[in-house]
Amino acid sequence: MVKEITVRRVGGSVGTTLPKDMAERLHVEPGDRLLAVETDEGILLTPYDPTVQEALEIAARTAKKYRGALRTLAK
């Protein structure tokens, strides 16, 4: 499903709301935590899972540490 949403200023940040029907289908309720992951396609929202968060941090550190080797392998 595709829905247009609007980004609004919330204090010093920006935020948005999910349409009620979408939130109900996805079982998202006020106070739930989500991870926002930047992808080549855009932003992926996924339920918060501390193990996923930790895995993403490990992957980022590893990519930074082995940046040169990864560039060589990508050729």
**Does residue 1 sit within a domain?**
no
Question: Which residue range is the domain that position 20 belongs to?
Answer: 8-74
pLDDT at 7 over 90: yes
**Does residue 61 sit within a domain?**
yes
**Does residue 2 sit within a domain?**
no
**Does residue 22 sit within a domain?**
yes
Q: Please name the residue that has the structure tokens 């899972």.
A: 49
**Does residue 3 sit within a domain?**
no
Mean pLDDT of the chain: 91
Model confidence, pTM: 0.57
What pLDDT was estimated at residue 72?
92
Phi-psi region of 41 (alpha: psi -120 to 50; beta: other; left: phi over 0): alpha
**Does residue 62 sit within a domain?**
yes
For 44-58, the pLDDT digits (tens) are: 988 888 888 888 889
Number of domains in the chain: 1
pLDDT at 31 over 90: yes
**Closest Cα to residue 50, out of 62, 63, 34?**
34
For 63-72, the pLDDT digits (tens) are: 999 999 999 9
